[in-house]
Amino acid sequence: MSFRSTILDQILNYCFPEIVIIHNEKLSLDLHETRSADFCIVVNCKEKLELMRKLYLSIETDIPFNLTIYTGDEWRNLTIDHSTYASYIKEKGIVIYEQSTQR
């Protein structure tokens, strides 16, 4: 199972995101394996910090990763402004899950 799939499966065990995006993925030069990556999760939840804590404690991988969580409203509002980090993620990242897609 790939690094992306491993992380995504573990995210989906804890929440029902609208979108999951991988960005700032760093690959090794020789083996083309992921060395680190950032994930953006767009999910409607009341306790984003609690969700983030649970995800960091439960995701098992030897590869360093970071999580950013936005609510759906935050995501839609922030991606309108091209100077925001959310807009950067939307532009540069790769959507690995959308709520409307089948896994």
| Domain limits, the chain | 3-98
Question: How many Cα atoms are found within 13 Å in the side-chain-facing hemisphere of 56?
Answer: 13
**Taking 70 as the threshold, does the pLDDT of residue 103 lie above it?**
no
Which numeric CATH code is attached to 3-98? 3.30.300.90
CA distance 99 to 103: 9
pLDDT band for position 29 (cuts 50, 70, 90): confident
What is the pLDDT, as a whole number, of residue 1?
Answer: 67
What is the pLDDT, as a whole number, of residue 102?
Answer: 47
What is the pLDDT, as a whole number, of residue 64?
Answer: 93
**Taking 90 as the threshold, does the pLDDT of residue 25 lie above it?**
no
Backbone torsions φ then ψ of 81, nearest 5 degrees: -90, 115
**Taking 90 as the threshold, does the pLDDT of residue 32 lie above it?**
no
Question: How many Cα atoms are found within 13 Å in the side-chain-facing hemisphere of 12?
Answer: 15
Mean pLDDT of 33-57: 94
**Taking 60 as the threshold, does the pLDDT of residue 83 lie above it?**
yes
